[in-house]
Chains A and B, each alone.
Chain A
Amino acid sequence: MADKTRKDAAEALAGRLFDGMTIMAGGFGLCGIPEHLIAAIRDSAVKDLTVISNNCGVDDFGLGLLLGAGQIRRMISSYVGENKLFAELYLSGKLELEFNPQGTLAERIRAGGAGIPAFFTRTGVGTLVAEGKEIRNFDGEDYVMERALSADLSIVKAWKGDAEGNLIYRKTARNFNPMMATAGKVCVAEVEQLVAIGDLDRDNIHTPGIYVDSIVQGAAFEKRIEQRTTRPVAGKAAV
């Protein structure tokens, strides 16, 4: 077994970045984003990127860093409402944007990693999303054909991992990370805790190491919270 461990994000990405490439980045909002790998991509100055990610970070954190540095040419996302710079760049024509329904985006990535070139879904039938795509009727219902998505590189964030690249995610920080790990030609993972081989529960590994090419333990994680929402101690529970 090869040791996939790298000493930091820059070393994990060395030789893997090139202008015009497509990168998938895990996370939902700022939750479960590979923050060290994103920062290392910013530092590399690689440009003309197509980035596939559910969101695009906020102005000064997450993928917003790459946006601010002018490295992203095209985004494939489901929601970008949190990012002011995104709106400016998009409206001035400096950024291309493809919106996918969130579940369609997730399934396109899953399909990309699973060797399924396309699939049919009811999501988006009769909307702008279905324009120009094949519609087929199955059992009396119309479905739209969606193509798989893959990438030159996927960057994911997990809670724990080992030198084989086995990964375990934590709570809702899992989100898009497991599918993206499977859909990149190369996958680099960053973890909060790099543990010894054998320390992960083999029955509860979310991403088996076969999908992961390099793994790095992040230094201090910022793990910024986008909408800190609390309830008063004496108050009644409210969601």
Chain B
Amino acid sequence: MAWNRDDMAARAALELRDGFYVNLGIGIPTLVANHIPAGMSVTLQSENGMLGMGPFPFEGEEDADLINAGKQTITELPASSYFSSADSFAMIRGGHIDLSILGAMQVAANGDLANWMVPGKMVKGMGGAMDLVAGVKRVVVVMEHSEKSGAPKLVKACSLPLTGQKVVDLVVTELGVFEVNRGRTPVRLTALAPDVTLDEVRARTEAEFEVAL
């Protein structure tokens, strides 16, 4: 059985290390916060200007001045800090964030990432994605293995406009985990979801990969 969204988040959470500063994207990456191991200290950065993001507020305690990058109301923690967008992206661009977990439309075998634009459709904008992949030390993608049409998303070369070149370290899908290593090595399949076969992964993956289970 393939992994569900929560399983994928749990798998991505294995990338967390004690003391990490981490930026989580919108969607499944947000769920990674629910899988921080007990006793591990992980500080969440929100690129709109906060370190030390706390949980959602209780009803009635929402603060319009306290939101995350997805514009959701959040809370602060005793060690939280606030700063401007320029300081926030200096932190990101300057390589001070250890890990970024984000979604993708396509990832290529060479580590290229496309996640902001489909030509011909209304473009919403890249937000902070290009800065994150350009500056964060390790970039983990969590995405569905295929598009709704069935088209593969782990591809030989991205056909969609890029967010960054050679930026992806690891990909987690519902079928398995792939080391991409920014294109420095061949793609390696390092974990399979329960009851998923290698043949199924091969059939649904365009990029060539080695098996290292």
A81 CA to B69 CA, complexed, in Å: 13
Contact status A230-B46, CB under 8 Å? no
A166 lies within 8 A of chain B by Cβ:
no
Please state if B85 and A29 are interface contacts (CB–CB under 8 Å).
no
User: Quick one: given A128-B161, A176-B85, are A238 and B131 in contact (CB under 8 Å)?
Assistant: no
Question: SS class of chain B's interface: helix, strand, loop or mixed?
Answer: loop
**Do A121 and B134 touch (CB < 8 A)?**
yes
**A49 at the B interface (CB under 8 A):** no
Please tell me if the beta carbons of B56 and A231 are within 8 angstroms of each other in the complex: yes
B55–A29 touching, CB < 8 Å = no
Q: Is B71 a contact partner of A31 (Cβ separation < 8 A)?
A: yes
Asked whether A103 is an interface residue with its Cβ less than 8 Å from the other chain, the reply is: yes
Interface residues on A, range: 35 or more
Knowing A79-B127, A239-B30, the reply to whether A29 touches B134 (Cβ < 8 A) is no
Closest to B166 in A: A126
Does B73 interact with chain A (Cβ within 8 Å)? yes
Q: How far, in angstroms, from A239 to B32 measured CA to CA in the complex?
A: 9
Chain B CB within 8 A of A211 CB: no
Decide: A103 near B126, CB < 8 A? Known: A122-B135, A172-B46, A172-B50.
Answer: no
Whether A129 and B130, one on each chain, are in contact in the complex, defined by CB atoms closer than 8 angstroms, is yes
Chain A proximity mask over B73-110: 1 for CB below 8 Å, otherwise 0: 11010000011111011101100000000000000000
Tally of contact residues, B, Cβ under 8 A: 60
Measured between beta carbons, the chain B residues less than 8 angstroms from A104 are: 89, 130-131
In the bound complex, what is the Cα–Cα distance between A127 and B47 (angstroms)?
A: 21
Is B64 interfacial (CB 8 A cutoff)?
yes
Report the Cα distance A202→B57, complex, angstroms. Answer: 32
Q: Among B56, B123, B134, point to the contact of A123 (Cβ < 8 A).
A: B134
**Contact assessment for B125 and A81 in the assembled complex, using a CB-CB cutoff below 8 Å:** yes
A82 at the interface (CB under 8 A from B): yes
Q: Using a CB–CB distance below 8 Å, which chain A residues touch chain B? A: 28-32, 54, 77-82, 87, 90-91, 99, 101-107, 109-110, 121-129, 159, 169-179, 206, 223-231, 233, 236-239
Apart from A104-B131, A172-B67, A174-B84, list 19 A-B contacts with CB within 8 A: A28-B85, A32-B65, A99-B123, A99-B125, A101-B128, A103-B131, A106-B85, A123-B130, A124-B134, A126-B164, A127-B130, A171-B50, A172-B48, A179-B86, A225-B73, A230-B58, A230-B61, A239-B24, A239-B33
